[in-house]
Amino acid sequence: MHIHLDISNALSFLPGGSLEAMEPVVGEAHDRLLSGSGPGSDFLGWIRLPSRTDPALLHRIREEAMRIRELADIFVVTGIGGSYLGARAVLEALDPAFPEVRKGEKIPRILYAGENLSSDYHSALMELLDRHSVAVAVISKSGTTTEPAIAFRLIRGHLERKYGKQEARKRIIAVTDAAQGALRDLSGIEGYSTFVIPGDTGGRYSVLTPVGLLPVAVGGFDIFRLVEGAAEAESLLCRKPDTALNPASLYAATRNLLWRHGKTIEIQVTWQPNLVYFTEWWKQLFGESEGKEGKGIFPAGVNFSTDLHSLGQYIQQGPRNLFETVLSVDRPVTDLPIPSDPENHDGLNFLAGKTLAEVNRLAEQGTIMAHVEGGVPNIRISIPCLNEQHLGQLIYFFEFACGLSGYILGINPFDQPGVQEYKKNMFRLLGKP
């Protein structure tokens, strides 16, 4: 596995020997996770998912993606939370900042619906869909989650009016429960192409199922390598709990120690704008898994160096109840040299000959130094480069660490009872029978 973890700038904020004292607790959490003896054991299918994924399923997803690419100029992913965040995280991490620079491939523009209730957003989406050839994936175990169900009702009606019912059916792909639920029933009636969300895998752990794999394949990326990378991480992280050998154990133990010493906010820091949605996926994974029973670290995110000019002041000198986890990429896909300027009006000729990636890397190092000196513990997680294999490893690493961390914290990391509270009030106000 190619994930490197550096906690030296976090341990300096903790009492000596505290990490060693965590080993029995980490070992117990690791055992509960793998044996299924902890709370939420019905939702542990993701643990062995990468190594047990049937290649025939991946081939079928890839074939369906190729059909969609031929059929549509726009592909709409309709879902909320884990039903879209993982796919969007991978797609935006691997896509160029400007998709127009991808040449020689027919790749639909991938858009999202049902992740909000904005009428302006969905009205503009409908107007755009009217001008282009469209296919849609609706992703929901039940088919009744309010936000995506409303969006799918709108899009389905739009497609049926635009193409007629028979053609619309060819353009709708349902990713849902294997046997039950409103979306499964509708798919059977209408004859939609379908993929299954495993019943033992919760939404925020589902990116390596058809939930995430279908959109990633439509985007033209290699889902075989994504799953292979995750399987490599599975092989290592499931083997032994020791923090010296298991980076997920080390991360889970360190963040829990920091929480016990008053660090209640974890800020994931990225230095690449195409990782912003990876942070959004990470926020849901940890926030929904750990925020229970008055416990849990609040997950936040910043993208540097952009946010150094907005939140950097707060991080440097604000309340000392936070720590940073820097997600770093060693090598960019491309690099740019900084030219010399004979006039040197901007005074930057001292940078001439360096590359933009080098400046970005040194800015990262300098920022870590400043924040640590300012009293902010720092964990640094690095991968060699952004590709399917390393993203697969990173996804599984965070999933496994989240499960461990929840058990160390003493909660069930696989339920989300608090999510229902807003729905009760919303449905009452809307007059739901």
pLDDT in tens, 215-268: 999 999 999 999 999 999 999 999 999 999 999 999 999 999 999 999 999 999
17 DSSP 8-state letter? T
Quick one: average pLDDT of 195-223?
96
Tell me, yes or no, if 390 is annotated catalytic. no
Confidence band of 192 (pLDDT split at 50, 70, 90): very high
Gap between the Cα atoms of 68 and 133, Å rounded: 10
Q: How confident is the model at residue 417 (pLDDT cuts 50, 70, 90)?
A: confident
Query: What's the pLDDT tens digit per position in 297-306?
Result: 999 999 999 9
pLDDT at 210 over 70: yes
Task: Tell me what pLDDT residue 104 has.
Answer: 67
pLDDT tens-digit map of 140-179:
998 888 999 999 999 999 999 999 999 999 999 999 999 9
Selected catalytic residue, list 127, 309, 343, 421: 309
Q: Residue 114 has which token pair?
A: 């049902």
Tell me the percentage of the chain whose pLDDT exceeds 70: 99
The predicted pLDDT at position 101 comes to 63
What burial class does residue 304 get, using C-beta atoms within 10 Å of its C-beta: 0-12 exposed, 13-18 middle, 19+ buried? buried
Domains of the chain: 4-39+238-409 (3.40.50.10490), 49-224 (3.40.50.10490)
CA–CA distance, 316 with 309 (Å, rounded to integer): 12
The whole model's pTM is what?
0.95
The enclosing H or E element of 312 equals helix 312-317
Cβ-Cβ contacts under 8 Å for 330 (sequence gap 6 or more):
382, 383, 384, 385
122 carries an active-site annotation: no
**How large is the average pLDDT for residues 316-332?**
96
Average pLDDT over residues 389-417: 96
Residue ranges in 134-209 assigned as alpha helix (H): 146-163, 165-170, 182-190
Provide the pLDDT for residue 334.
Answer: 87
- The pair of structure tokens assigned to 388 is 């399917």
For the chain, the average pLDDT equals 94
| Active-site entry in 4, 165, 354, 423 | 423
pLDDT in tens, 66-120: 999 999 999 999 999 988 999 999 999 999 877 766 666 789 999 999 999 999 9
Known catalytic membership, residue 309: yes
